[in-house]
Amino acid sequence: MIGGVCMAFGSAALSEFVGIGYVFGAFLAGYMIPDAWRPALIARLEWPATFILMPFFFMATGLRTEADLLATSTILLVLALVGTTLVGKMLGAGVPALLAGATWREAASLGALLQTKGLMEVLVATILLDHGVISAASFSALVLMAIICTAIAAPMLRLLAPDWQRIRVPATP
């Protein structure tokens, strides 16, 4: 347990020092953990990471949001991002699913499920902001887009596939 935590902190610090971001280093540490250690580490770290650390990450993200959220330009940018994301995910997932033999409802449901981007989108936007690739206004719009798209994923799925909880995926051999 202590070895895994030290490995995560060490790898995160090293990757931050070389300029690729602490997130990548921590991810690589998790990837390199020996298989024998994984179940114990997950059992011990999942609860504190989810219920204690994640709220602080999202609070820090909210504190970094500097744009005037009621400004017309911000609202238009968020609407454009949400619209583009919705259409892109629905078509990007739906068309191949249809070509593979799925029904339109299954294809659309897959596109709806792909709207959930929450944490990954926020991480990418944070890294881009930290490296000066995007502005604070763009960061704010991207975070709002991630929150909106993630929030509408479940209602979209309920609308498209009201019986989704009864769907059983056959086990692969």
**Mean residue pLDDT across the chain:** 84
Residue pair 97/110 in contact (Cβ under 8 Å)? The answer is: yes
Question: Does 102 have pLDDT greater than 90?
Answer: no
Q: What is the pLDDT of residue 83?
A: 94
More confident residue, 1 or 97: 97
Query: What confidence tens digit (pLDDT) does each residue in 20-69 have?
Result: 777 788 888 888 888 888 888 888 888 888 888 878 877 888 888 877 77
Q: How confident is the model at residue 3 (pLDDT cuts 50, 70, 90)?
A: confident
Identify the CA nearest to 140 among candidates 83, 63, 72. Answer: 63
Tell me what pLDDT residue 88 has.
Answer: 92
